[in-house]
Structure 1
Amino acid sequence: MTRCSSGAVLLLGLLTAGCARQHFFQPDARIPDAAAQAAVGPDSARVTAGRHYRRGWSGRLWFGQHYRTTWAQPVTLPVLDLRRAAPGGLQPGKMGGGFQTTSMTLNGPNGRTYALRSLDKDPYKTLSKFLRHTFALNVVRDATSAGTPYGAFVVPPLAQAAGVLHTRPRPYYIRADETGLGKASERFRGKVVLLEEKYESKENLTLEFGPDAQDLMESDDALEQIYRDGRHRFDQPAFLRARLLDLWLGDWDRHEGQWDWVAVEQNQRTLYRPIPVDRDQVFFRFDDGLISWLVSKAVRKFRTFGPAYQSIGGYTRNARFIDSRALNEMTRQQYAATAAVLQQALTDEVIEQAARRLPPEVYRLEGPRLVAALQARRAALPQAAAEFYRRHAEEVVVPGTDEAERFVVERQSDTLTVVSVFSRDKAATLLYRRGFRPAETKLVLLHGLGGKDEFVLSGQVRRSPRIDIYGGPGEDTVADSSRVAGPRRMTRFYDTKRNNQVEPAPELKIKTESGVATHAFDRDGSGR
């Protein structure tokens, strides 16, 4: 048995041995100290985000120290008063559907909405029914302590300096006798929560993001528009800036569900600018216990935040789908230039001011260490960006839309292949262009999607990335006059056997079939 499989068997045995702990969570975040509570007045409370994460020396040895001290540290937070938390007051809305956090929407005047959610998590519903009653539930619940409860409040000034759109979360304590949240009141009582505006109303959208802002969308809605119409595009430079900020913060949970998009009208096109949401995993600290270290070796995405970037592949694993769609235009030079801009923008002063947004008691515990780590990671950001680019450049997806497009592949030299995409209307608008180098890129996948698409390839070279063409359900045309030295064909066409015009060519390998499986394209991430 290999070392990895032995470790997996040991881990499985540890997770399934024993029963789930009853009454895991603290009953009330408010600490039972009457003198301390009286000292802060009626509008505030002395609370702990999660004193149930405290462990003795053996627990820390096995599961890690994580941020247990921070979770158990008493801090002073304002008590949520729905009449004063936002201009005009707040009213209860619908409950959220999150599997781990307790969340709901609060409604303000003029259509404004706010998200209210607990800082603590309960992953009970994410486990199978069998594991919910085993020691595994204790382990995954305890792993919440690997994230810092107050990290999300540090991010806004850093994002502001980086030029990344952001929300403005604020922490509160909800009284144990709260009734103003309607039927949800009982679920929130005694919890430490985060409150942030959602920018869904038209009035607030334009006030926050400017008069050109038209709408706020989730990723699946933005992707639907982008693949329907070539006039809709991701703001890829803005997304790259946001993703390098994610790397710097060690925020590994950036899948497509963790983004909102502001639709902005610009030059008769609609650009979708990213807003990162749910900053629950910034500054993650995980591999400091025997079991958590073993898990971190098996699950690459659980990377610990520190002065060095542990694994670019691990940090970016959850975001592979959205990265492949929203960064496919960006070049190595743009990655390097964006990293350099962020280095200049994220000054020592900005970092220190952001760290001071931690509660004072928590800053004394974690502030200097956090500041030093951010400074060290800033210095190494160009190298991290270069590795991030290298991984993205190996295989690049270039989708069209449901309209007709013309894909042009020019194998210009042994070191450069240029891919361009044009609309097939009278305007012949350039929709996409990027040069690929075979030293960086092994495969470019062209997806025609709908419409009558045309694929034209030219050039005679010795080296080139392989081009895989997926025509889609329309009647497509392929003309390949290119040649790449060597016996291996470097152009492949995948489609149905009928309703296409494909000219046989020495470089082209035709791989058609009777079914429509070749038409499948994951448009929203559901096919991962």
Structure 2
Amino acid sequence: MPPLSAQPPVSHFCLLLFGLALATTSCARRDFFQPDARIGVGSSEPLPPATDSVLTVAGRQYNRYSKFYQFFWGHHYRPVWAAPAKVQVLQLATAAPGGLKAGKPGGGFQSISMTMEGTKEREYALRALDKNPVKTLPKFLQNSFLLNTVRDATSAAMPYGALTVPPFAQAAGVPHTRPRLVYVRQDETGLGEMSERFQGKVALLEEKYDALASRTADLAGATDFKGGESVLEQVYANPAHTIDEPAFLRARLLDVWLGDWDRHEGQWDWAEFKKPDGRVRYQAIPKDRDQVYFRFDDGIIPWFVSRRFILPRFQTFKPNYGNVAGLVQQGDFIDQRGLKQMTRTDFSRTAADLQRRLPDSLIERALRRLPPAVYALEGPTLRSALKARRETLPQAAETFYLTLARKPVVGGTAQAERFVVQRYPDSTTVRVFSTAPNKVARRDSLQFRRTYFNAETRELSLEGLSGNDVFELETIGAGRPIALLVYGGAGQDILRLKGSGNRLKLYDETSDLTAAQAPRPQPPKKKRLPYDRTLDTKGR
């Protein structure tokens, strides 16, 4: 099983893996991870204080399995994890201008990471290459032999892949961090409570965008930096706050080209740009490039697990894109809300522009950032795949667009909106107007307009969230319109229905969203997110 996302999953195929793991592995290993990443002469001795670089491997434990085991569980990047790499030793006093000191621990259910604090409000992220995904399993399995298999699946990730991303992102016009490799001494105690977890490991150190002091030319004019879901809270709280959709589309197509499947809403930072008129624009900054060049389906069991009917998001990086819908699945929530106005033409033009920005010479230069031994193992393969994927990027972008167009979501805010919907036999047009007493919003009351076509869209959702919203729905002509799901949310909502209520479903918390010829509202079927509840509370 491969590394999972930020949520603690209880995978529906755990019992299957449990039985297969029993047949191919022993009991859970207490000494699964290498005690020290150093290799070569003197690697078993204490590291002299003045040492500035050492020879390391990212995780030799992944390359110790037999061919029989790999036949079932995959070859992955095992030789890369055991390949030598010369790495600088982390010296806190000189690792950044003015030195670094320990900040708060970080990481989700797998990552070993923390924040490092520099001078002038600069913040850095320190993240170990290796992971410990024990928390992705239910507690009753965390001491079983299945843990061996879950830990071993880390070998599907390319440990040094993040090093190659900055040149690509720079050329594509996508903001990016600049990670560098460091080795944490086995006797390092300057990382606070995280010292023991990092000791003897190879890690990536990179400056964050979160502090104003870290502004760079590609984000000139940014007034602040926000992380994760806080931007969605702002966007849903006020119609004057919007996501820069063309920039986000560019970043997402770069993800697709690199095969980076783990792009849920927690994998982004955001640069804030305030305008004199009070409007605020947010530009996406990708982070945590742990899953670029992911290689998973080269064993019988992971091949089966990555099928469309189980976990299609675990797509292997190959010359062809395979299941694009699965590749972008993990980012579906943020994609639906961050790309809602991007048209088919927008996807096509952006993909063509990226093709021009990613020449062969750039691909070669970026891959040369890999440690020499790693480049010797994987450089030619990755180069060939990147070139092939570049040539077919427009087709992948088309599939990405159609995936989002199948079940789009149009969301309101915590303030009052008027949703005007005209349903035709072959299309549905949605307009959203702000009716809240907000000077910025009133300056341009039309917030959204788009036409969805039956040939592309199967189901359309409208989310009112908070505020006293009005839904004006008109069905014009006979036929079978696009299925429409209306979520009233909190507040005293009004439904005005003209024509047929065919293929219309209503969901409302207070059941006040009713009209003649309309179905009876049902309780919301969607899982509520933290900021949804916050907005609903504010709107009451």
Letter in structure 2 aligned against 1:277: K
Letter in structure 2 aligned against 1:113: E
Pair 1:433 & 2:449 matched: yes
Match of 1:103 in 2: 113
Give matches, 1:27-426, under 5 Å.
27-34=35-42, 42-54=51-63, 55-205=65-215, 209-211=219-221, 213-266=222-275, 268-297=278-307, 298-411=310-423, 414-424=425-435, 425=437
Mapped partners of 2:407, 2:263: distance in 1: 20
Q: Classify 1:482/1:351 alpha carbon distance in 2 versus 1 (closer, same or farther; 3 Å).
A: farther
Match of 1:469 in 2: 486
Give matches, 1:435-514, under 5 Å.
435-458=451-474, 460-463=476-479, 464-482=481-499, 489-495=502-508, 503-504=515-516, 508-512=517-521
Mapped partners of 1:499, 1:56: distance in 2: 63
Q: How many angstroms does 1:113 deviate by?
A: 0.8
Q: How many angstroms does 1:48 deviate by?
A: 0.6
Q: How many angstroms does 1:97 deviate by?
A: 4.3
Q: Classify 1:129/1:405 alpha carbon distance in 2 versus 1 (closer, same or farther; 3 Å).
A: closer
Q: Classify 1:92/1:503 alpha carbon distance in 2 versus 1 (closer, same or farther; 3 Å).
A: closer
Mapped partners of 1:101, 1:77: distance in 2: 20
Deviations 1:242-278 (A, max 9, x none): 1111111111111111111112123531112111111
Q: Classify 1:90/1:240 alpha carbon distance in 2 versus 1 (closer, same or farther; 3 Å).
A: same
Structure 1: which 5+ runs fail to align? Answer: 1-6
Mapped partners of 1:520, 1:114: distance in 2: 34
Mapped partners of 2:327, 2:127: distance in 1: 25
Q: How many angstroms does 1:128 deviate by?
A: 2.1
Mapped partners of 1:140, 1:350: distance in 2: 35
Letter in structure 1 aligned against 2:428: T
Equivalent position SS for 1:401: coil
Mapped partners of 2:228, 2:504: distance in 1: 32
Q: Classify 1:360/1:310 alpha carbon distance in 2 versus 1 (closer, same or farther; 3 Å).
A: same
Mapped partners of 1:140, 1:27: distance in 2: 19
Deviations 1:107-160 (A, max 9, x none): 101111111111001112222233222221111111111111100111111111
Deviations 1:403-455 (A, max 9, x none): 111111234x5444321111115545221111111111122211222222222
Match of 2:28 in 1: 20
Q: How many angstroms does 1:163 deviate by?
A: 1.3
Q: How many angstroms does 1:390 deviate by?
A: 1.1
Q: Classify 1:509/1:122 alpha carbon distance in 2 versus 1 (closer, same or farther; 3 Å).
A: same
Aligned CA-pair RMSD: 2.7
Deviations 1:305-341 (A, max 9, x none): 1101121122122212212221222211111111111
Q: Classify 1:402/1:9 alpha carbon distance in 2 versus 1 (closer, same or farther; 3 Å).
A: closer
Q: Classify 1:294/1:237 alpha carbon distance in 2 versus 1 (closer, same or farther; 3 Å).
A: same
Equivalent position SS for 2:139: coil
Letter in structure 1 aligned against 2:138: S
Match of 2:537 in 1: none
Q: How many angstroms does 1:304 deviate by?
A: 1.0
Q: How many angstroms does 1:467 deviate by?
A: 2.6
8 Å Cα contact 1:321/1:525 also seen in 2: no
Q: How many angstroms does 1:205 deviate by?
A: 3.7
Mapped partners of 1:235, 1:119: distance in 2: 31
Q: Identity rate of aligned residues, in percent? A: 49
8 Å Cα contact 2:274/2:280 also seen in 1: yes
Mapped partners of 1:9, 1:223: distance in 2: 36
8 Å Cα contact 1:68/1:145 also seen in 2: yes
Mapped partners of 2:526, 2:396: distance in 1: 35
Mapped partners of 2:509, 2:197: distance in 1: 54
Letter in structure 2 aligned against 1:268: G
Mapped partners of 1:35, 1:521: distance in 2: 51
8 Å Cα contact 2:466/2:491 also seen in 1: yes
Mapped partners of 1:453, 1:29: distance in 2: 58
Q: Classify 1:158/1:146 alpha carbon distance in 2 versus 1 (closer, same or farther; 3 Å).
A: same
Q: Classify 1:354/1:116 alpha carbon distance in 2 versus 1 (closer, same or farther; 3 Å).
A: same
Q: How many angstroms does 1:519 deviate by?
A: 9.6
Q: Classify 1:181/1:523 alpha carbon distance in 2 versus 1 (closer, same or farther; 3 Å).
A: closer
Q: Classify 1:110/1:479 alpha carbon distance in 2 versus 1 (closer, same or farther; 3 Å).
A: same
Letter in structure 2 aligned against 1:476: D
Mapped partners of 1:179, 1:388: distance in 2: 47
Equivalent position SS for 2:54: strand
Mapped partners of 2:267, 2:213: distance in 1: 23
Equivalent position SS for 1:512: coil
Q: Classify 1:129/1:402 alpha carbon distance in 2 versus 1 (closer, same or farther; 3 Å).
A: closer
Mapped partners of 2:159, 2:32: distance in 1: 17
Deviations 1:267-308 (A, max 9, x none): 531112111111111101111123332333342222111101
Q: How many angstroms does 1:459 deviate by?
A: 5.8
Mapped partners of 1:478, 1:64: distance in 2: 54
Q: Taking structure 2 as the reference length, what is the TM-score of the superposition?
A: 0.87
